[in-house]
């Protein structure tokens, strides 16, 4: 079916929906807009759906949400009798409405929908999955994307996002449906039938907070230093506001100043360009407030509170934003070193990170006798590793992180957790303050001890009808002609994770990889550097990761610059 046929089909199928017809009529004279909205269905992958709000098959709207939910319902009903699904949402446009639509479609299929009574972080959904023994979970969020986006993420009974096999099965179930094929009942009917329940604080939140508090390693130090440690926190208009402030208060950190302009939900995110704690602009108001109150550290969480950004005050008095890798390594170093000092570091301890995250983790883990595991990008793979450890008893999970500002030190949550991360970084700040150090001091000590591990993350956007084709062509071209040098450094091995092979360039020897297939190319370099290229799972872009290390900072910076330039030329960007 052509995009024009799909466009016209909506006029016929949804003729009774006056608002939808009005929106579609308004774009009649714009063939490019029609094409972009209807040339494809909004893709449903292992990260669920994410897209711009609006009417069309390639947009987030009540019809694409209902269709996806009907596909999920068909899959669940084929797997188990009387399934239940937990639903959470953040502060974005249409998030409450999409959450309710999800619940009503599930209820129409005889599935017990359990809907949070207000916006919640992703971690509450992940925890609630296991705590309430649900068969699936849905979070309505577009994470850190701009305000015109929303999304739909699906979780399995283990509390992690669904894996590739389940995603393929749900995708097939969705593809078999038309845009108006979803069943739906009213909220009153769903409630009367006992198929819609509302989850309040006492149902999940209180137990979650109690368990997060058990993750504190040095609670006495935190209570002592928490009286004077000054923190500025901004939820960036999102779901972290209540639980992050609660956990900091309950562990004894009492001097927390919240950025008032960004405290309450605002689907327009009117104080920032994007609600992304990776973006320096997200910290403008927080740093201004920190200077006014004399705070030592600033936190920011994104709308669904699964990512945490941190700015630390240096000895000069200025604030420096840490990268996701640096935050992860600070937390990891704090956990491992303090547990070792306390005598509580398990002999079979393990850290798990994504393949594109810093190799600085390795020397830190080695120094503490802790195993390090790499997974593909996507926190669901870290969640799978946690489950493997529990099933086999082989390792005790201590910490997991991704360079994209996601962290976890618990096993009762199986996704990145901004509330857990806030506790960890606040506790680390208090612990090191008791020793006369700032977080900036400790980060510098880590570099001086283990080397300067620096990184660049860049991306090339390829939107629209031709985007997928262009990304595929770019990846195919690099596969055919992999570089032998990047920035003057020899490539030792090429890991083609889609093909499942590792090729050593010097000998041509090919080994099989244990990773599941994924469109990722990883270049292992002499000296322990690496370059990785992969299409984004949530946006129309190819992402490029360049990581280098050197004992001397200036040398590391020069190497990073030259390797980044070469790697970007490889992409044609």
Final residue belonging to a domain, choices 150, 172, 203: 203
My answer on whether 301 and 428 are in the same domain is: yes
**Residue 553 domain flag:** yes
- Provide the pLDDT for residue 440: 97
**Residue 143 domain flag:** yes
The residues with which 137 forms a beta bridge, in sequence order, are 86, 155
My answer on whether 291 and 311 are in the same domain is: yes
- Provide the pLDDT for residue 459: 84
- Provide the pLDDT for residue 538: 67
- Provide the pLDDT for residue 43: 83
Q: Which domain holds residue 458?
A: 452-571
Count of alpha carbons within 13 angstroms of residue 487, beta-carbon side: 23
My answer on whether 476 and 423 are in the same domain is: no
Calculate the average pLDDT of the chain. 95
Smallest Cα–Cα separation from 566: which of 519, 518, 533, 527? 533
Question: 196, 103 in Cβ contact below 8 A?
Answer: yes
Helical packing angle, 418-434 and 241-250, nearest 10°: 30
My answer on whether 98 and 197 are in the same domain is: yes
Secondary structure (3-state) at 55: coil
- Provide the pLDDT for residue 351: 98
My answer on whether 312 and 442 are in the same domain is: yes
In angstroms, rounded to a whole number, what is the distance separating the alpha carbons of residues 49 and 523?
A: 30
Res 572 pLDDT > 80 = no
My answer on whether 225 and 198 are in the same domain is: no
The residues with which 15 forms a beta bridge, in sequence order, are none
Final residue belonging to a domain, choices 419, 450, 481: 450
In angstroms, rounded to a whole number, what is the distance separating the alpha carbons of residues 565 and 543?
A: 14
In angstroms, rounded to a whole number, what is the distance separating the alpha carbons of residues 567 and 549?
A: 16
My answer on whether 462 and 435 are in the same domain is: no
My answer on whether 356 and 444 are in the same domain is: yes
**pLDDT by residue (tens digit) across 297-351?**
999 999 999 999 999 999 999 999 999 999 999 999 999 999 999 999 999 999 9
- Helix (H) / strand (E) containing 20: helix 18-26
**Residue 365 domain flag:** yes
Final residue belonging to a domain, choices 450, 475, 499: 450
In this structure, what token pair is assigned to residue 351? 């850290």
Domain of residue 100, CATH code: 3.40.120.10
- Provide the pLDDT for residue 1: 83
Task: Give, in order, the Cα–Cα distances in Å from 21 to each of 18, 28, 60, 96.
Answer: 5, 11, 16, 23
- Provide the pLDDT for residue 573: 57
- Provide the pLDDT for residue 460: 84
My answer on whether 334 and 426 are in the same domain is: yes
91 is a catalytic site residue = no
**Residue 22 domain flag:** no
pTM of the model: 0.95
- The radius of gyration of the chain's CA atoms, rounded to the nearest angstrom, is 24
Domain of residue 458, CATH code: 3.30.310.50
- Provide the pLDDT for residue 472: 86
Question: 143, 151 in Cβ contact below 8 A?
Answer: yes
Domain count within the chain: 3
Res 237 pLDDT > 80 = yes
In this structure, what token pair is assigned to residue 168? 């393929």
Angle, vertex CA 492, rays to CA 489 and CA 498, nearest 5 = 115
Catalytic residue among 84, 91, 95, 143: 143
Secondary structure (3-state) at 49: strand
**Residue 75 domain flag:** yes
Residue 458: pLDDT band (50, 70, 90) is confident
My answer on whether 173 and 184 are in the same domain is: yes
**Residue 208 domain flag:** no
Residue 44 CA, distance from chain mean position: 16
Question: 49, 98 in Cβ contact below 8 A?
Answer: no
My answer on whether 132 and 159 are in the same domain is: yes
**Residue 18 domain flag:** no
**Residue 10 domain flag:** no
My answer on whether 322 and 439 are in the same domain is: yes
């Amino acid at each position: 079916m052509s995009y024009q046929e799909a466009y016209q089909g909506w006029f016929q199928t949804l003729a009774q929906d006056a608002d939808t017809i009005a929106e579609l009529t308004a774009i009649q004279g714009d063939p490019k807009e029609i094409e972009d909205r209807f040339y494809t269905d909004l893709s449903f992958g292992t990260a669920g759906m994410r897209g711009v709000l609006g009417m069309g098959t390639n947009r987030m709207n009540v019809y694409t949400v209902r269709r996806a939910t009907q596909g999920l319902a068909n899959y669940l009903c084929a797997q188990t009798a009387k399934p239940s699904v937990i639903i959470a949402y953040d502060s974005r446009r249409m998030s409450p409405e999409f959450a309710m639509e999800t619940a009503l479609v599930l209820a129409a299929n005889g599935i017990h929908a359990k809907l949070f009574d207000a916006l919640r972080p992703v971690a509450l959904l992940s925890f609630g999955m296991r705590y309430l023994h649900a068969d699936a979970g849905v979070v309505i969020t577009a994470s850190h994307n701009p305000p015109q986006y929303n999304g739909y993420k699906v979780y399995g009974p283990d509390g992690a996002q669904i894996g590739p096999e389940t995603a393929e099965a749900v995708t097939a179930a969705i593809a078999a449906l038309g845009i108006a094929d979803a069943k739906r009942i009213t909220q009153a009917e769903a409630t009367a039938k006992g198929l819609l329940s509302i989850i309040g604080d006492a149902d999940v939140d209180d137990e979650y907070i109690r368990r997060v508090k058990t993750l504190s390693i040095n609670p006495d130090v935190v209570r002592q230093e928490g009286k004077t440690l000054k923190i500025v926190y901004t939820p960036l208009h999102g779901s972290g506001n209540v639980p992050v402030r609660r956990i900091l208060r309950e562990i004894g950190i009492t001097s927390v100043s919240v950025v008032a302009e960004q405290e309450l939900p605002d689907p327009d995110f009117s104080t920032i360009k994007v609600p992304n704690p990776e973006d320096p602009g997200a910290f403008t108001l927080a740093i201004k407030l920190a200077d006014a109150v004399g705070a030592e550290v600033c936190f920011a969480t994104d709308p669904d509170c699964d990512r945490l950004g941190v700015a630390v005050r240096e000895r000069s008095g200025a604030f420096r934003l840490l990268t996701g890798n640096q935050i992860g390594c600070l937390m990891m170093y704090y956990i491992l070193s303090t547990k070792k000092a306390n005598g509580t570091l398990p002999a079979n301890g393990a850290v798990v990170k994504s393949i594109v995250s810093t190799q600085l983790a390795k020397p830190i883990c080695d120094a503490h006798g802790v195993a390090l595991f790499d997974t593909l990008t996507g926190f669901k793979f870290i969640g799978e590793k946690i489950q493997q450890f529990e099933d086999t008893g082989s390792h005790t999970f201590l910490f997991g992180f991704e360079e994209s500002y996601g962290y976890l030190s618990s096993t009762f949550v199986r996704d990145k957790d901004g509330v857990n991360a806030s506790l960890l970084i606040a506790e680390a700040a208090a612990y090191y303050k008791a020793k006369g150090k700032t977080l900036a001091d400790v980060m510098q000590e880590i570099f001086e001890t283990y080397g300067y591990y620096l990184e660049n993350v860049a991306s090339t956007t390829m939107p629209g009808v031709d985007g997928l084709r262009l990304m595929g062509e770019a990846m195919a071209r690099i596969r055919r002609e992999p570089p032998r040098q990047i920035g003057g450094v020899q490539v030792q091995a090429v890991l083609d994770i889609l093909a499942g092979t590792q090729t050593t360039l010097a000998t041509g020897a090919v080994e099989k990889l244990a990773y599941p297939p994924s469109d990722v190319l990883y270049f292992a370099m002499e000296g322990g550097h690496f370059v990785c290229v992969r299409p984004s799972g949530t946006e129309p872009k190819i992402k490029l990761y360049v990581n280098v290390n050197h004992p001397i900072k200036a040398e590391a910076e020069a190497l990073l610059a030259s390797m980044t330039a070469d790697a970007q030329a490889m992409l044609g960007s």
